[in-house]
């Protein structure tokens, strides 16, 4: 799949890579909110991500 062409390859790669940092910041925020309340649901919050990562 050609997203940016030869001239825009670096830009396209940077945009796609930026989603990793955006997702990480969202995960950190929501996990922090969860852990401030209780550690009881930590496993249930993280288990779906482990399953998705294992696929």
Look at residue 10 in the predicted model and tell me its pLDDT: 85
The pTM assigned to this predicted structure is 0.57
Look at residue 2 in the predicted model and tell me its pLDDT: 64
- Share above pLDDT 90 across residues of the chain, in percent, rounded to a whole number: 33
Give the separation between CA 27 and CA 1, rounded to whole angstroms.
28
User: Per-residue pLDDT tens for 37-53?
Assistant: 999 988 988 899 899 98
> Rounded mean pLDDT of the chain?
87
**pLDDT(4) > 70:** no
């Amino acid at each position: 799949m050609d997203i940016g062409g030869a001239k825009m390859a670096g830009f396209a790669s940077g945009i796609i890579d930026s989603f990793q940092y955006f997702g990480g910041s969202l995960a950190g925020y929501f996990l922090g909110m969860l852990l401030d309340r209780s550690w009881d649901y930590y496993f249930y919050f993280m288990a779906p991500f482990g399953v998705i990562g294992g696929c």
